Amino acid sequence: MVQCKKCKLFLSVNKDEVLRCKVGLEKQEKEDLKEVIITLANKLSLDTNEIEEVKRVGQEKLVDNKRKTQPVIIKLRTKSAREQWLKLRKQHNITNDDIYGNKNKHKIYINEDLSKYFRQLFWLAKKELKESYKYIWIQNSKILIKANESEKKIHNIKCEDDVRRLLERRSEKQVS
């Protein structure tokens, strides 16, 4: 098996990642972010005692002349708490209005918080492999891909070399 030299370095970085979720919700003036997240947790019927730390990260940006707020990172006490947040996000369509009562119907997203390396690797995989692979997703901080519904094999992408190898395999299959 061929191993990418960068893989071990980046896979061992940031084990904290498995305890964090990234939440996209509107920013209010003078917000008490911890209280906002507790309200969100209550709406999802989650244990608020599992919330260890809450903070907004990044810088506010203008995208198409609209203010894009920074995401909120929630650090949870256990991996099972994080799994609950990620599981329940799919069962509820919570909007900013549900939290703030401000008639803003934009959905609040809850995703896995990935390191910069894995975020970039995920977008590279999507860009390079979208023609050959129907399913490209993230689960438990892993980048997974599958060619189609009938394919049983799920590939785990750990580094750019994995993307290149999968591209080569697909082009070899198309030539045959």
Cα angle at 19 between 98 and 75, to 5 degrees?
55
In CATH terms, 15-112 corresponds, of 3.40.50.300, 3.40.50.1820, 3.40.50.720, 3.30.70.1820, to 3.30.70.1820
Per-residue pLDDT reduced to its tens digit, 6-35: 555 455 445 666 788 999 988 888 889 999
In the chain, CATH 3.30.70.1820 sits at: 15-112
- Taking alpha carbons only, the member of 157, 145, 165, 156 closest to residue 121 is 157
In sequence order, which residues have a C-beta less than 8 Å from that of residue 44 and are 6 or more positions away? 85, 88, 89, 92, 94
Question: pTM of the full predicted structure?
Answer: 0.77
State how far the Cα of 121 lies from the Cα of 115, in Å rounded to an integer: 10
Spatial neighbors of 78 by CB under 8 A, at least 6 apart, are 19, 50
Residue 173's pLDDT band (boundaries 50, 70, 90)?
A: low
The whole-number pLDDT of residue 144 equals 94
Q: What is the pLDDT of residues 55-114, one digit of tens each?
A: 999 877 777 877 778 899 999 999 899 999 999 888 888 999 999 989 989 899 999 888
